[in-house]
Amino acid sequence: MSDLADLFPGFSSHHIGTPNGHIFARAGGKGEPLILVHGYPQTHAMWHKIAPELAKSFRVIVFDLRGYGWSSVVRGSENGSGYSKRAMGEDILAIAEEFGFARFNLAGHDRGGRVAYRFALDHPGRVEKLALLDIVPTCIVWDRIKAGATNYPHWPFLAGPAPEPETEIGKDPVGWQDSCLAKWAASGDLSSFDRRALNAYHAFFNEPSRIHATCEDYRAGATIDDAHDRASLAAGDTIRCPTLTLWGNNGIPGKGVSPLEAWKAFAPEITGEPIAAGHFVAEENPAETLRALKAFFA
């Protein structure tokens, strides 16, 4: 993957050791620390349209989730055991320790948003401010799926028993990946994505162990993460730091009940707004996403 375009000029590269292998991260800028977490089926490259601008005001860290991009695959993971959002949050902790951040700002999109909000619940003293892009809580999504109230067909498919989804995706990995990106974008095609970023997404996804890793991410979501959410609700745990949610006005979370209402049980003081986009707000509408994030984290 060394021949891929550098989408973060001026950012340094880091391989951060963890008990499960290494995490690949890029770092740039000066100021208060801000860690950005990507989602499925992407890599840290999804932040390339806004991270350089954020780096003018913040010390920005972008990284690849375990099993994604250039980060290590967790070996021997079954039924999501290595990919719970609590476990993936430990990689954020490793990054913070590596860079010497006692407290930091945190933003996550899609699966990265799920890692970010679980981290904020599990480590309330570490997060200054939290931004969640185009998601609602995992347990609420599963409740809506089971009630037939929302259309997330990829969730039960990807969380299905191995190797069923892996085998199906493996017939045409890049085709599957592109179909997800196009289907979840407001345009219905790939026009919002920089070809250089698509190349980065394709390079990581076109490999069986990483297809398995991303399915394990969803298997954890259907079991371990759902249980962790419900335990937090039962205990009355809430996110204690200022929290922002942004959602695409043409995305799935933006349909039906407001994402703000969906988050109230976890983050009673949450604020937010829709962005004119589909699911990939940072790539489909980087100007508005950047405006909202800069105003919130300032």
Cα–Cα distances (Å) from 187 to 42, 250, 251, 264, 277, in that order, read 18, 9, 11, 30, 9
CA dihedral for 142, 146, 151, 152, sign (positive or negative):
positive
Do β-strands 32-37 and 104-109 pair in parallel, antiparallel, or remain unpaired?
parallel
Catalytic one among 44, 91, 109, 110?
110
User: What would the DSSP string read from start to end of 173-203?
Assistant: HHHHHHHHHHHHSTTSSSTTS-HHHHHHHHH
- Indicate if 134 belongs to the active site: no
* Other beta carbons less than 10 A from residue 103's beta carbon: 15
279 is catalytic: yes
Q: What is d(CA 261, CA 263) in angstroms, rounded to the nearest whole number?
A: 5
Which amino acids are annotated catalytic? 110, 279
